[in-house]
Amino acid sequence: MRRSFSSFLLCAALAACVNSPDLPPADRQARGDAPRLVPISGLLAQAGPPTDATALRLSATPQTRAANLRARAAALRGPVIGQGERARLLGSASRIR
């Protein structure tokens, strides 16, 4: 463990001493058709208010969200499969044994 850590430190120190080469600009940047950076405030103003279901759920009050979560939890507490399906699976399992 100590030897591998020492080797790691030596490699990290050697990597820090290397001068990075001067690379030419990328082709798109040299041609001038690289994407232009724009301020986010203008984009947000153009987009307008969110209308998707996720945004509507997030804007709900905490009490509404808590009630929705309780309803989902109650739905999950029920049986996963019906009694008929359970009997069929148990019958198949007993035949396999």
At 21 the pLDDT is 67
Cβ-based neighbours of 57, under 8 Å, separated by 6 or more:
65
Q: Is residue 80 part of a domain?
A: yes
Residue found by looking up tokens 């399906």 in the block: 85
Domain around 79: 59-97
Whether residue 67 is contained in a domain is answered as yes
- Residue 41, both tokens: 């405030």
Q: How far apart are CA 44 and CA 37, in angstroms?
A: 14
Q: How far apart are CA 13 and CA 49, in angstroms?
A: 51
**More confident: 96 or 25:** 96
Is 64 among the domain residues?
Answer: yes
Whole-prediction pTM value? Answer: 0.29
- Over the stretch 16-63, which tens digit does the pLDDT of each residue have? 787 776 766 677 667 777 777 888 888 888 877 766 666 666 667 888
Query: Residue 67 pLDDT > 70, yes or no?
Result: yes
Please state the domain count of the chain. Answer: 1
